[in-house]
Structure 1
Amino acid sequence: MTATVIHLVRHGQASWGKREYDNLSPLGMRQGAILGEAMTARGVRPDLLVTGSMRRHEQTAQAAAVAAGWTLEATPDPGFAEFDHMGVIAAHKPAYRSMVLMKADLARTFHPRVAFHDMFLSAMDRWTRGEHPGDYIESFEAFCARVDGALERLTTAVPDGGTAVVVTSAGVISRICARLLSGPTDTWIAVNKVLVNTGVTTLELADHGLGDGHGLRLVTLNDHAHLSEGHAELVTRR
């Protein structure tokens, strides 16, 4: 029996540092189109095209679908939305509710990308420990439950032997991978750090219904050969 295939795609590069972060940058649009071309070349013809509820998810799916020649409509599922990363940062450093102040603080380190990375890891560590759930709109436990529910809905909706493409975010993909690998929270953080924009993580489902994960297995993680072959400038992680 042919396995059901689920391709989890991280969205293209968003507009990092801009007022409207939740929009693809020009590079992000290009990444989406290259992804679509590569999927068509591999013979991927989805029966379902699903997105999270972010604009960057929808834009990536649209760019890929146009380039691939897919005609099916994308179905949004808020369960595949990313966690509120700015809320997580603000709970860790309340002054950083102001993007201007955060940028100024990071700039004073003379290594703003490194400083942001270190600060963000600390913020995520605080969130995932679950010691201050009242500080967050969505606790880490609630986020995990939401993603698990979205994946279960997907496995029920995709036809036997069919293919689903889901455009979502790094936190969602990392949660799914950590669950399938039976890894601790550290696994979620480790996977989250390395996922590339429009990287593809592929799952196979031999039997419908998640249960304890039976039948669902991780086949590839963060495949971005469509970007890295002679185009290193296309490989981004924001």
Structure 2
Amino acid sequence: MGAIYLVRHGQASFGAADYDQLSERGFEQSIVVGAELKRRGVEFAQARSGSLARQRDTAATALKELGVKVVEDPRWNEYDHVEIARYHAGGVEQGDDSRAYQKALDVALTAWCDAGESGPCLETWPAFLSRVTTAVHELAGALGKGENAVVFTSGGVIATVCGALMGTPAAGLVKLNRVTVNGGITKLISGRGGVTLLSFNEHPHFEAENAGMLTYR
């Protein structure tokens, strides 16, 4: 039985002109993630990342010493939080208060899901759900017996995939997304019965001496 490890990217540049860049802390977190993956001794037959800079840079930094080739696949990209906030939260901007922004984003994400196919965003919730779940099942299908894969992606993608595997994708998106940590590791099992969620948002590598590196946004 093989496994798919979903890794959330390191801390991005919240409040900056370009959010899609790893912060200094984000690069540090990526190094710790790489050390954790190496410690686990898992061999990866497949490695993926979305095409966003924060995802690609996390993958490159984390896998630097593992010698694994990463294939970019935009289906692992995050939803467009700027567009969703524009249409469903009155255009609220990130600003400096991450908690206030998260609260507004939760409202916007709920409205985005409720709008379904008729939503005003370029990518609707059903379209997003379809692309991320298709990416998961396609990757699972590409794994041989006992083979493992690692994917560097984003919190909303991971939350949606986990929610879908539990039968509540929209609830998963909103409720799980807000607690995913930067550099957290989620493990899926792929076998004859399909894909199953085994663990969500593991982050012991950000405890003890690395406790000060734990971030949510």
What's the TM-score once normalised by structure 2's chain length?
Answer: 0.94
Q: State whether structure 2 residue 13 is matched by structure 1 residue 15.
A: yes
2:98 counterpart residue number: 113
Amino acid at match of 2:66: W
Amino acid at match of 2:196: R
What are the Cα deviations for residues 65-104 of structure 1, in whole angstroms up to 9, with x where unaligned?
11xx2222210111111000010001124444xx5xx63x
Deviation at 1:48, TM superposition (A): 0.9
Larger CA deviation: 152-161 vs 24-33: 152-161
Residue among 138, 143, 159 paired with 1:153: 138
1:211 counterpart residue number: none
1:91 counterpart residue number: 87
Q: How does 1:190-205 map to 2 (within 5 A)?
A: 190-205=175-190
Aligned partners of 2:117 and 2:46: how far apart in 1?
Answer: 38
Q: State whether structure 2 residue 209 is matched by structure 1 residue 230.
A: yes
Whether the 8 Å contact between 2:4 and 2:189 is mirrored in structure 1 is yes
Residue among 25, 47, 50 paired with 2:48: 50
Tell me the matched-pair count: 217
Whether the 8 Å contact between 1:206 and 1:215 is mirrored in structure 2 is yes
Aligned partners of 2:198 and 2:168: how far apart in 1?
Answer: 16
Distance 1:87 1:158, change over 3 A: same
Aligned partners of 2:146 and 2:40: how far apart in 1?
Answer: 17
Whether the 8 Å contact between 2:102 and 2:178 is mirrored in structure 1 is no
Q: State whether structure 2 residue 124 is matched by structure 1 residue 139.
A: yes
Deviation at 1:20, TM superposition (A): 1.4
Gap regions ≥5 residues in structure 2: none
Larger CA deviation: 214-223 vs 20-29: 214-223
SS of match in other structure, 2:141: helix
Deviation at 1:45, TM superposition (A): 2.1
What are the Cα deviations for residues 33-82 of structure 1, in whole angstroms up to 9, with x where unaligned?
1111111111022111100111111100011111xx22222101111110
2:166 counterpart residue number: 181
Aligned partners of 2:169 and 2:56: how far apart in 1?
Answer: 30
Amino acid at match of 1:192: N
Aligned partners of 2:113 and 2:150: how far apart in 1?
Answer: 28
Gap regions ≥5 residues in structure 1: 208-213
Deviation at 1:19, TM superposition (A): 1.0
Aligned partners of 1:35 and 1:73: how far apart in 2?
Answer: 16
Amino acid at match of 1:39: L
Whether the 8 Å contact between 1:130 and 1:141 is mirrored in structure 2 is no
Q: Once the two structures are aligned, what percentage of the paired residues are identical?
A: 33
Aligned partners of 1:152 and 1:20: how far apart in 2?
Answer: 32
